[in-house]
Amino acid sequence: MWAEPKPVRELQIDGSEATRIPEDPIKPYRDHITKGLLKIIDGKNTDPPRGILSFFLDLAHFLELSDIDKERLDQPGGSLKAFGGLNGIGKLADCAERTDAYAKALHYREMEFLYKTSEKDNKEKERKIAESLIKSFQKLGEQEAAEGVLEFAKGNEITVSAEWFEKLNRWEEAKTLYADGNDNPYDKLGYMRCLEALGEWDELCTKVYEFDEEIEDQKIDAVKLGTTAAWHLGNWDEFQRLHQIIPVNSFDGAFYRAVHSVQNSKYEDAKSGQSRLVKS
């Protein structure tokens, strides 16, 4: 038997009562909760799984939304004072980045940015915030917003790095900045990545042999770039010489060996290389 429907007015009253939040319902527990949250989010003594971090980020967001007392700070983020003010907001942003939750990272980093732009004596902190904003905007596909942060930094005496231009696909500018610091392996690799993006294969092939760093991972990264350049140039002797340096049990090593086998019509070798690709 169907129940008689309630009048609309009664339904509205029931709905409003159900969604009404009493004045700061978690106030007695707020300090205890935030202290526990900060221990997890700080990550100094623990390295919790991403799922746990995501759960605690959701809890921090709930604390922010449920905080009725908005007058504790005049600026945005006042409801997060319990997290230690600016430092707490920065920790929440760092935690969100660790879990690839870039929308949440952006939310907290923008609050941090609003605080820090009023402190003219802390340009290094501003630079780190700007770098994080560019990363979050870029990950979220907001290219124009990321460009805006970069232009703001350039106009406010904040030191910009070549990596910022690289993230925004502004390869010529990134290449120029990397060239200025081309005496360290990080800048050398950055310069080579720019050459790859710009299709400057001849110079990229040459740069591989100038890369004489002792760090094995950096050497391999440089050789991979050089192998790609040799492939584009159709220089198969160079291609063979370089791909043999890449470990055979790695994805790239197996892939380049399979390509070389196909080029030489050694299809059985290419087939075995394909099986290595699947395993790697």
SS3 per residue for 28-82:
HHHHHHHHHHHHHHHCCCCCCCHHHHHHHHHHHHHHHHHCCCCCCCCCCCHHHHH
271 within some domain:
no
Q: Is the pLDDT of residue 94 over 60?
A: yes
Residue of 206, 255, 250 whose CA lies nearest to 226: 206
Q: Does pLDDT of 279 surpass 80? A: no
- pLDDT for the residue 276: 59
Task: Give the pLDDT of residue 10.
Answer: 47
Query: How many domains is the chain partitioned into structurally?
Result: 2
Indicate whether 83 pLDDT > 90. no
User: Which residue did the predictor score with more confidence, 176 or 254?
Assistant: 176
Q: Same domain for 124 and 148? A: yes
Q: What is the pLDDT of residue 121?
A: 55
Which pLDDT does position 230 carry in this prediction? 93
Q: Which of 131, 5, 15, 19 is nearest to 66 (CA)?
A: 19
Residues 26 and 33 sit within 8 Å (Cβ to Cβ)? yes
- 157, 174, 191 - which closes a domain: 157
**The pTM of the whole model exceeds 0.75:** no
Furthest C-alpha separation in the chain? 85
Residue 6 lies in a domain: no
- Say whether both 139 and 224 belong to one domain: no
Is the CA virtual torsion 204, 206, 210, 211 positive or negative? Answer: positive
State which H helix or E strand residue 172 sits in: helix 171-180
Would 225 be classed as within a structural domain? yes
Q: Which CATH number fits the domain that encloses residue 37?
A: 1.25.40
- Find the mean pLDDT for residues 253-258: 86
Distance CA 189, CA 238 (A): 19
Residue 17 lies in a domain: no
Q: Which of 115, 140, 157 is the last residue of a domain?
A: 157
Q: Residue 86, CB half-sphere, CA atoms under 13 Å: how many?
A: 12
Range of the domain at 223: 166-246
Answer with the one of 124, 157, 190 that is the final residue of a domain. 157
Segment 10-57, tens digit of pLDDT: 444 444 444 444 555 666 666 676 777 777 666 665 677 788 788 888
Higher-confidence residue of 29 and 258: namely 258
